[in-house]
Chain A
Amino acid sequence: MRHLLGIEGWRREEIETLLDRAEAHLPGGPASTSVLQGKVVANLFFEDSTRTRTSFEMAAKTLGAQVLNWTAQGSSVSKGETLLDTVRNIEATGPVALVIRHRSSGAPHLVAQHVRCAVINAGDGTHEHPSQALLDAFTLRKHWGRLDGRTVLIVGDILHSRVARSNILCLGALGARVMVCGPPTLLPVGLKELGAEVTTNLDAALPQADAVMCLRLQLERQTESFFPSTREFSRLFGLTAARAERMKPGALVMHPGPINRGVELAPAVADGARSVILEQVANGVAVRRAILEVCS
């Protein structure tokens, strides 16, 4: 048993082993489909999610597990039950793993200190989203073979993005050069220490990238004046069709979803030849099967 609380603390070999396992879990692959036969995996989603929850659910079910789907809505959380009380009650039903999505950074770490089963972070606040980074790395690996020497440019709201943090660490660990780009208000200090190069000039960075990952812009950040308008954001930091033209030949476009079409990513680019967005989703199940197998 081991936890997946974040990419932080995972070494390159461990990540590569996990991605190798994910290969075996692709449809028609050699991995066993009964490793979790008779076991229960609990999905604890304190925050809304479509793609991550269904992806983990499919992964668990196709490994033979029963899935307990718990959501904060309609639970005792609204009665003021604490996170640890909620989680311990669910743990008492005997799951082999808790898959947790929570709005507070570090919530899975807190849980992991107080339960005996595996804790898998399915996204915590503005901290990490490790399964997303692993499936992104997996997707890139399928295209490139290796990430060494490749440049991945992550664009948008880095400050509030758990996808960005996990990807900086994961892609960096696998040998890629990671650049991040966004308005200064959405670039936290200390990104260099995490291993990223920082720029505010998308047009200068774009031609260097072998892949561009656009992040979802949460529209409520506008009311907090992190940027003046989605219009201006899009003008400065959106991946428009014109910008996509200037990318390297063969460079890829990624997005963790859900997309604000026309804000961070133009519809034509999201659906265009460079886009691997749906591959990301498809690979997600195989990667999460590998995560459940390795952690449980």
Chain B
Amino acid sequence: MSAQVLFSRGRVIDPRNGVDGVRDVLVRDGKVAEVSEAPLQVAGAQVVDARGRWVLPGFIDMHVHLREPGEEGKETILTGCRAAVAGGFTAVVAMPNTKLVNDSALVTELVLSRARAARLCRVYPAGAITKGLKGEELAEMGELISAGCVCVTDDGRPVMNASLMRRALQYSTLFDIPVMVHEEDLTLSGKGAMTEGPTATRLGLLPIPPSAEIVMVARDLVLLEETGARLHLAHISCEGSVRLVREAKKRGLRVTAEAAPHHFTLDDTAVGQYDTHAKMNPPLRLRRDVEALREALADGTIDAIATDHAPHGVLDKRVEFEKGINGVVGLETALGLALALVHEGVFSPLKAVELLTVGPARAFGLPGGHLAPGAPADVTIVDPDAEWAVDAERFFSKSRNTPFNGRLLKGRVTQTWVGGGLVFADGQIKESR
């Protein structure tokens, strides 16, 4: 087969290759074949008129919860992949905290086979650090990696035992894969329901101090330095964490970090009157933390935007705030929220695209994330001027738990291509390609 697609005259933004300008991109046999400043004429190629559009490397979300196996009422691999491609993501990393924990090759293979059947985006499984995410014994890292896991993480829970965490980091150097951590000292977060601050005090909700995150970041950076491993910090949310990461990077430690759109967009006041849609872990922080995250995204301290897409049912959220389950869906709003920072002048379009593409690709050593010849033909086309209002009822995700319902966003995905095939166009999933 020699399917050829020509993306014609779009603004190509490819941070890894230093491209930001009008180009033609020719795709052949699932790979990028040529990127040209001059218009290309290719006989037999399908032409996509990209004038006025941005032609971008497909986005990579290194942090999503697809809920399958075990909680298919919230999301399945199929519906999660639909949400991904609708949001412009051509690859996602699936967290292992499913109801059957991904701590074995069996579950990894199940995830991969469901993802192949979905035929939408690339799904990279993450394996558990510890068996059953219990924080007691290491899971079989070697088996997980050879089955296709790209990293290990107990996401949703910290590895509280420092000695076990140290061994996990040491052992991971066998495979040179990142160990991804959810940083939370459970003795500090305790029964807290939201971040410490005026809103928690006003609402009478028990506070989670920022130290619950920061002390664990500090601990793991010390362990990282001792072990020479690779550490990836999931969803950091505090000014103090940012400061530690910045300093660690300066000293050359192999640490990467992600930030979630809800954390760089909303502060604690979004909880309003006990809105459980604004409840997640880590919690929404104070305005100064939001500002610190924005600065860290702009200056490279934070490597990637990751959604922590966490689908939950209506009943999980329609309860007392303390009982409300943590998490928000994020795949279908990530681009708009990232571009909001571009519109506010926090960073350039080039930086926004970097945080969604080459940033995560580099952190996890994934293919894609750029558009040089030979790269996978994963392409996201964006209409940068399209203004739209978030409507959770129209999400492709099975779940609707978002604090952004009704929010006006500027910039929208019009097409998503994976491996040279069209998977999403003009609001429709293209499943039978």
A residues neighboring B (CB under 8 Å): 8, 82-84, 102, 104-107, 109-110, 124-128, 162, 165, 188-191, 193-194
Contacts and interface: CB of A to CB of B under 8 A. Distances in A.
B320 interface: yes
B321 A106 contact: yes
A82 B318 CA distance: 10
A193 B274 contact: no
B275 to A, nearest CB: 10
Contacts of B348: none
A196 B193 CA distance: 23
B207 interface: yes
Given A102-B320, A189-B198, A109 B204 contact: no
A190 B274 contact: no
Interface residues of B, number: 22
A110 B320 contact: yes
Q: Which of A84, A104, A106 has the most CB of B within 10 A?
A: A106
Nearest to A107: B320
Given A104-B322, A105-B322, 18 more contacts: A82-B319, A104-B320, A105-B193, A105-B203, A105-B321, A125-B205, A125-B322, A126-B204, A127-B205, A128-B204, A162-B204, A165-B202, A188-B196, A189-B201, A189-B207, A190-B198, A190-B201, A193-B198
A124 B321 CA distance: 12
A105 B204 contact: yes
Interface in B198-241: 198-207
> A-side binding surface: helix, strand, loop or mixed?
mixed
A193 B201 contact: yes
B17 interface: no
A190 B320 contact: no
B2 interface: no
16 contacts: A82-B315, A83-B319, A104-B321, A105-B203, A105-B205, A106-B204, A109-B274, A125-B205, A126-B206, A188-B201, A189-B207, A190-B199, A191-B201, A193-B202, A194-B198, A194-B201
In the complex, the 10 A-B pairs of residues with the closest C-beta atoms, listed nearest first: A127-B204, A190-B198, A106-B274, A104-B320, A190-B201, A126-B204, A105-B204, A188-B201, A193-B198, A106-B321
Nearest to B204: A127
Contacts of A82: 315, 319
B163 interface: no
Contacts, number: 72
B200 to A, nearest CB: 7
Given A125-B204, A126-B206, A106 B273 contact: yes
B313 to A, nearest CB: 13
Nearest to B272: A109
Q: Which of B197, B198, B319, B320 has the most CB of A within 10 A?
A: B320
B323 interface: yes
A188 B321 contact: no
Given A102-B320, A110-B319, A165 B204 contact: yes
Contacts of B318: 84, 110
A195 B420 CA distance: 60
Contacts of B315: 82
A127 to B, nearest CB: 3
A98 to B, nearest CB: 15
A139 B319 CA distance: 36
Contacts of A194: 198, 201-202
Q: Which of B200, B202, B315, B322 has the most CB of A within 10 A?
A: B202
Contact of B323 (A104, A165, A190): A104
A193 B269 CA distance: 13
B322 A188 contact: no
B319 A106 contact: no
Contacts of A110: 274, 318-321
Nearest to A84: B318
Contacts of B199: 190
A105 B414 CA distance: 43
B321 A190 contact: no
Interface string B300-322: 00000000000000010011111
Nearest to B315: A82
Contacts of A105: 193, 203-205, 274, 320-322
B187 to A, nearest CB: 11
A8 B199 CA distance: 13
B322 A189 contact: no
Contacts of B323: 104
Interface string B320-359: 1111000000000000000000000000000000000000
Interface string B184-199: 0000000001001111
Nearest to A158: B201
Contact of B320 (A8, A106, A188): A106
Q: Which of B199, B201, B322 has the most CB of A within 10 A?
A: B201
B80 to A, nearest CB: 27
A189 B196 contact: yes
Contacts of B319: 82-84, 110
Nearest to B191: A224
Contacts of B321: 104-106, 110
A268 B323 CA distance: 42
A296 to B, nearest CB: 22
A122 B204 CA distance: 15
Given A83-B319, A83-B320, A106 B201 contact: no
B207 A188 contact: yes
A218 B320 CA distance: 23
B323 to A, nearest CB: 7
Nearest to A127: B204
A190 B273 CA distance: 17
A125 B203 CA distance: 10
Nearest to A191: B201
Contacts of B200: 188, 190
Nearest to B193: A105
Contacts of B202: 8, 165, 190, 193-194
Contacts of B197: 189-190
